[in-house]
Structure 1
Amino acid sequence: MKMFFLGLLLALSLAACETVETAGRKNQMDFDLKAYGHEVRWGQIEALPSYLRPDMIESQPAVAASPGNIRVTGYEVLVSPHQIGEDKNRVAQTVRINYIFRDRQVVRSLIDKQTWEWNADEKKWYRSNPIPVFR
């Protein structure tokens, strides 16, 4: 009987650790995706590559020819972050970004289908697909 309770206690402890780890990963996802959205929304276009997986930064094309010429007027989450398949370390979200070119007052809109991967060592989410180009 004593072994049964010890086994039960061990199982509950492991389940609690999994729950705490999952909650921490979700909280960090919320933080990282909101920070990325904030950078876009407030025109910090040149900072976006820092959210990419480190191995992708060099291959990322320039997000805009002249980032200072872009004024973002809207950042709307169309599809909330959701897990991709069975992998708890990958999520996707879709957003619409509305922006104008300051010099031409041309209004543009793009749909940004984002995928994000969890880096357990750094406890950080990285974007794992290219950042769209503002044209």
Structure 2
Amino acid sequence: MRRIPSILAVLLSVLSLAGCASKARSDALTTTLNAYGSTLRWGDFQSAAQFIEPAIRAAHPLSKLDQARYRQVRVTEYDAGAGPVPTGDFDVQQTAQISLVNVHTQSERTIVDHQSWHYDEKTKHWWLTSGLPDITQD
């Protein structure tokens, strides 16, 4: 009977530590998504590529053609809508609408960017795993 209070104390300690960890993870996600959104709003796709998980970025570097395509557009709006949706303890998905203007034709269009983000516990960092927006979609 004496063990019940000590077991409860241990459980509460573990739960509060888990709560702190998830709060820190949530704060890091908010900071990362805001920074990524700001980077895209400025049309800085080169810097936005730094949000991609390093192993994915190394395996799939931006080609010269991709870089030229990104230079051909200007971002006029970035709307993350309802924000991130958890898909697991360390994964979220977010859908953003991005309005682009072609600098040569001045035509505007909107694309939908389905983002996947993963939290790396070792580095305490959120990484984009879905890559940069596909601006070639119609």
Q: Does 1:77 pair with 2:87?
A: no
TM-score by length of structure 1 reads 0.88
How many aligned positions are there? 133
Residue in 1 that maps onto 2:91: 90
Q: In 2, distance between residues paired with 1:50 and 1:81? A: 19
What whole-Å deviation, never above 9, does each CA across 1:21-40 have from its counterpart, x for those lacking one?
01110110011011100000
Residue in 2 that maps onto 1:9: 9
Q: Cα offset for 1:109?
A: 1.6
Identity %: 23
Q: Cα offset for 1:60?
A: 4.2
1:1-135 equivalent positions in 2, closer than 5 A: 1-58=1-58, 59-62=60-63, 63-84=66-87, 87-135=88-136
Unaligned segments of structure 2, at least 5 residues: none
| Aligned residues: CA RMSD | 1.7
Q: In 2, distance between residues paired with 1:124 and 1:76? A: 23
The one-letter code matched in structure 2 to 1:76 is: D
The one-letter code matched in structure 1 to 2:97 is: R
Q: In 1, distance between residues paired with 2:86 and 2:110? A: 26
TM-score by length of structure 2 reads 0.87
Q: Cα offset for 1:102?
A: 2.1
The one-letter code matched in structure 2 to 1:8 is: L
The one-letter code matched in structure 2 to 1:34 is: N
* Structure with the higher helix share, 1 or 2: 2
Worse-superposed segment, 61-70 or 89-98: 61-70
Contact 1:60 1:130 in 2 (8 A): no
Q: In 2, distance between residues paired with 1:105 and 1:89? A: 40
* Structure with the higher strand share, 1 or 2: 1
Q: Cα offset for 1:77?
A: 1.6
Unaligned segments of structure 1, at least 5 residues: none
**Structure 1 counterpart SS, 2:90:** strand
